[in-house]
Amino acid sequence: MKVSDFKNIQGIIEFNGEYSNTEISITTDSRSMTSENVFLALKGENFDGFDYMNPALEKGVEVVIYTHLPERTEIVKSLKERYKDVLFIAVGNTLKYLQDSASWWMREWQKSNGGITIGLTGSNGKTTTKELLFAQAEIILKDKVLCTAGNFNNHIGVPLTVLRIKNKHKLAIIEMGTNHPGEIEVLCNIANPKFGLITNVGAAHLEFFKDESGVLKEKSSLYDYINKHGGEFYLNMSDNNLKTLEITKQVYPFGEDESEFYQELNNENIEESYNIWNLKASLFTLSKIYPDKEELLIKNAATIKLPANKRSEWIEKSGKRIFLDAYNANPTSMKSSLESFANKYGDAQEKSLYVVGDMNELGESCQKFHEDISILMNDLKIKNAIFVGRYAHYYESKFNGSSKVYTNREDLLKDWNKVSNSYQYIFLKASRSLQLEALIDITD
């Protein structure tokens, strides 16, 4: 998208400056600006981007977009006099303008450039699958593929991702996150995906969705959008919730019998069985979109490496082999991770330590879900555990092995090397609030 394209977006109250054919690079954070040339002054619950226009202007932005309010007239007038070469755009609501701009640009890019958009969501594995899709698509398209960066998968992150798309790109992989009903539909309307994949439906964000049927309804908004707009949806039949969806002429099922799909596929860089599934799901998706490239994709699957992003990382340090998943945790992902790790090191439980932390946003069933995880750990014959966080006592109440409880991460950090010294294999998983990756930094 170029600066001159702003004239095509509704909701503009006032322009000041000249149009330019410079491609935009947009930011909403004046603190982390590098080469961005457009500053969008968003307003949040605890901040107002308008208050940070000065730092952005001092760093050399060419365009400033802000919400028009009568009381800001004199402030903006003064800034216009000081920064005569800057284009100031006043709009009715910067968030709506951001979303409308992204929606317009996505459709313009798809129409003018033949751009392909994959929409991706799921309770677990969506970020890993996104990264695998991106790595494999690069094999085909080189630098002509773009994907969601980090966790930019919400009502702000998705439009910011869309606005990163340049004319050179041929494929955009858009991750969609949600923790409240109705959010996936909003993101679909912005990103306009023509191809879609839901990794799975599990017990996540139950504080807002109540149960897995509520999660299914929300995630299925992507399925509904694809069916309504004539795209292709790839249906994971190995998921008990997703397999209840109707198989229409636009739906391509896979995975009910995993052995039938790329049975020979093995990737030593992806050690967990559920990540092997993510690899297969991403291969299936791309092989349907680019059928003539299927053989190339399978041939290069062994070269794929997962990025270091605090999700399902294997780390070697001080003679220890550590599994780190410190980005997110819910009952479904915790179960999969524990089973995978315990199966891998089942014969070395005496040398294995499991550090298990809070699973957040589980609502009324919070205690039961944490206790169920401990019951699973007993079934897996896990012997040594550390439970950390405000729900640690729920874990401990049902665990049969040897355990220590820390109600906060700071106390665990103080004891970490003492309590972990005698173990060779370490499992670390909790919700993001605990930031368990800090344990890696002090491991000796």
Percentage above 70 pLDDT, the chain: 89
Whether residue 25 is found in the same domain as residue 123:
no
Percentage above 90 pLDDT, the chain: 53
Structural contact between residues 313 and 324, judged by C-beta atoms closer than 8 angstroms = yes
Q: Which of 72, 102, 86, 77 is nearest to 38 (CA)?
A: 86
Range of the domain at 30: 3-92
Domain membership flag for residue 49: yes
Whether residue 145 is found in the same domain as residue 258:
yes
Structure token digits, residue 305: 């490496």
Domain membership flag for residue 371: yes
| Final residue in a domain of this structure, among 248, 279, 303 | 303
Q: Tell me the per-residue pLDDT of 131-177, one tens digit each, with 9 for 90 and over.
A: 999 999 999 999 999 999 878 899 999 999 999 999 999 999 999 99
The whole-number pLDDT of residue 10 equals: 66
| Final residue in a domain of this structure, among 271, 303, 335 | 303
Q: What average pLDDT does this structure show over 82-107?
A: 91
Q: Name the band, by pLDDT with cuts 50, 70 and 90, for residue 23.
A: confident
CATH of the domain at 137: 3.40.1190.10
CATH of the domain at 37: 3.40.1390.10
Tokens 């919070």 belong to which residue? 366
| Final residue in a domain of this structure, among 37, 57, 92 | 92
The pairing of strands 87-91 and 12-16 is: antiparallel
Whether residue 378 is found in the same domain as residue 398:
yes
Q: Which of 43-57, 220-234, 349-363 has the lowest mean pLDDT?
A: 43-57
The whole-number pLDDT of residue 303 equals: 76
Q: Tell me the per-residue pLDDT of 168-227, one tens digit each, with 9 for 90 and over.
A: 999 999 999 988 889 999 999 999 999 999 998 877 666 677 788 888 998 999 999 999
Q: What average pLDDT does this structure show over 39-46?
A: 86
Whether residue 206 is found in the same domain as residue 104:
yes
Whether residue 203 is found in the same domain as residue 106:
yes
Whether residue 119 is found in the same domain as residue 249:
yes
Angle at 55 between CA 52 and CA 58, to 5 degrees: 145
- Give dist(CA 219, CA 122) in Å, integer: 7
Q: Name the band, by pLDDT with cuts 50, 70 and 90, for residue 264.
A: low
Q: What average pLDDT does this structure show over 327-334?
A: 87
Whether residue 405 is found in the same domain as residue 348:
yes
Q: What is the mean pLDDT of the chain?
A: 87
Whether residue 295 is found in the same domain as residue 401:
no
Q: Tell me the per-residue pLDDT of 369-410, one tens digit each, with 9 for 90 and over.
A: 999 999 999 999 999 999 999 999 999 999 999 999 999 999
Number of domains observed in the structure of the chain = 3
Q: Tell me the per-residue pLDDT of 420-435, one tens digit each, with 9 for 90 and over.
A: 999 999 999 998 889 9
Q: How many CB atoms lie within 10 A of CB 235?
A: 22
